Amino acid sequence: MISFPIFLDNNATTKLDPLVLAAMMPYLTDNYGNAASVQHSYGWVADEAVKIARQEIATTINALPQEIVFTSGATESDNLALKGVWEAYKSKGNHIITVSTEHKAVLDSCAYIQAHGGEVTYLNVDENGQIDLDDLQKNIKSTTILIAVMFANNETGALQPIEKIGEIARANNVLFFCDATQAIGKTKIDVQNLNIDLMAMSGHKIHGPKGIGALYLRRRSPRVTILEQMNGGDHENGRRSGTLNVPGIVGMGKAFSLAMDNLDMEISRLENLRDDIENFIVQNIPNCHVNGKKNRLPHVTNISFFEPNSNQLLAAFRSKLAVSAGSACTSAKNEPSYVLEAMGLGVEAANSAIRISLSRFTSKEEIDFAKAFIVETVKGLQL
Ligand SMILES: *Cc1c(COP(=O)(O)O)cnc(C)c1O
């Protein structure tokens, strides 16, 4: 049985896995200790649970538990990585390289850094949302301290050439920060092979709870240092103060380890469902266009319909489907998506984009219903 509206907006957030909730429950009830309380068993129980979760998250990305710093989410991890590195490496340089299609948490942190005297270069992307590696290489200078490039884009799923970026960063002795929020559980990530030095992650994009995230910080060759952005108590080895969100951390650890179970099978299942809905739409609606199709995550498609616009489409879909505009446009201000514009899409294409994002809980029945419903609805509106 399908329950409506069908949730196909999994790049915005995901359903909490019941197994994650079950793992969290004891830490929301009886085991309410503060993980920093070393004097009694309430603290030890909490600390032990945090240890296990830290190991689960580290294992997912081939890191060490000491390299994981817990935060309130990927937004905070992005802020901590960018501002933390910029403040810690001032004696080396003042220049950061990022990309125009990054998440707002990265772009707004970069804007803050610029407003406070830092220098930021924004690389362009091609029609598939990917940067040009020569362009990256050319923009590195002696004062460059950090390259910040996301693993995969939240609007289109477009993957960046992470391995090559890691090689370039390493060869030039520049740190590489990667926002991998969307990529966790949708592709394999190995921070060693990829030469990633800092990496942002979130719980709620992968069936964990909201309000918990982590930042991976490389400990060796090179050892990354950051300046703390949240002061008070020196938790997380002085990198992020604040009482640990024990239930959230336990949930994130469980969510990460569940995401690794049968990952290869899940990737091909998602890819098949995504290709099915995408092909059906493309075959039945003339003139629609898939944005950034070349190299992307398996669970997302971003399609421009040209007419009607995204808001009209969303309104027509609403009772049956929860999807989102590829753009950040609100009903009030009809601004096209900066991500799609950077990929060279015209205003009409950018203003009529719909993002469909699947999850582990998306079923074939839901996709069969959704694809027929979308085609029928769009055809009706285009008459
Ligand atoms: C969702 C998202 C974020 C923000 O994560 P929160 O945990 O909600 O703060 C950052 N970056 C990307 C790429 C995202 O998709």
Q: Number of helices (H) and strands (E), helices first, in the chain? A: 13, 13
Task: Please write down the long-range contacts of 219-224, taking CB distance under 8 Å and 24 or more positions apart.
Answer: 219/64, 219/66, 219/67, 222/175, 222/197, 224/85, 224/175, 224/197, 224/198
For the chain, percent of residues with pLDDT exceeding 70: 98
178 carries an active-site annotation: no
Q: Residue 206: pLDDT above 90?
A: yes
pLDDT (average), residues 107-123? 98
In sequence order, the β-bridge partners of residue 99 are: 123
**Residue 78 Cα: closest atom of ligand 1:** 10
pLDDT (average), residues 315-326? 94
Give me the pLDDT at residue 1, please.
Answer: 86
Q: What pLDDT digit, counting tens, does each position of 210-225 carry? A: 999 999 999 999 999 9
CA-nearest residue for atom 12, ligand 1, is 181
Ligand 1 neighbour 179 (Cβ under 6 A): yes
Structure tokens at 70: 């817990």
Q: Residue 304: pLDDT above 50?
A: yes
Give me the pLDDT at residue 383, please.
Answer: 80
Ligand 1 neighbour 341 (Cβ under 6 A): no
Q: What pLDDT digit, counting tens, does each position of 351-376 carry? A: 999 999 999 999 999 999 999 999 99
Q: Residue 327: pLDDT above 70?
A: no
Q: Residue 334: pLDDT above 70?
A: no
Rounded CA-CA distance 260/50 in Å is: 19
Q: What pLDDT digit, counting tens, does each position of 150-181 carry? A: 999 999 999 999 999 999 999 999 999 999 99
Give me the pLDDT at residue 330, please.
Answer: 45
Give me the pLDDT at residue 336, please.
Answer: 85
Residue 331 confidence class, pLDDT cut points 50, 70, 90 = very low
CA-nearest residue for atom 7, ligand 1, is 73
Q: Residue 7: pLDDT above 80?
A: yes
pLDDT (average), residues 286-314? 95
Residue type, 69: V
Q: Residue 329: pLDDT above 90?
A: no
Q: What pLDDT digit, counting tens, does each position of 65-103 carry? A: 999 999 999 999 999 999 999 999 999 999 999 999 999
Which residue segments constitute the domains of the chain, with CATH numbers given? Answer: 6-15+263-382 (3.90.1150.10), 18-259 (3.40.640.10)
Give me the pLDDT at residue 328, please.
Answer: 54
Least confident residue range of 22-36, 187-201, 314-328:
314-328
CA-nearest residue for atom 9, ligand 1, is 75
Q: Are 286 and 307 in contact (CB under 8 A)?
A: no
Scan for tokens 């190299």, then name that residue.
295
Name the average pLDDT for the chain.
96
For the chain, percent of residues with pLDDT exceeding 90: 96
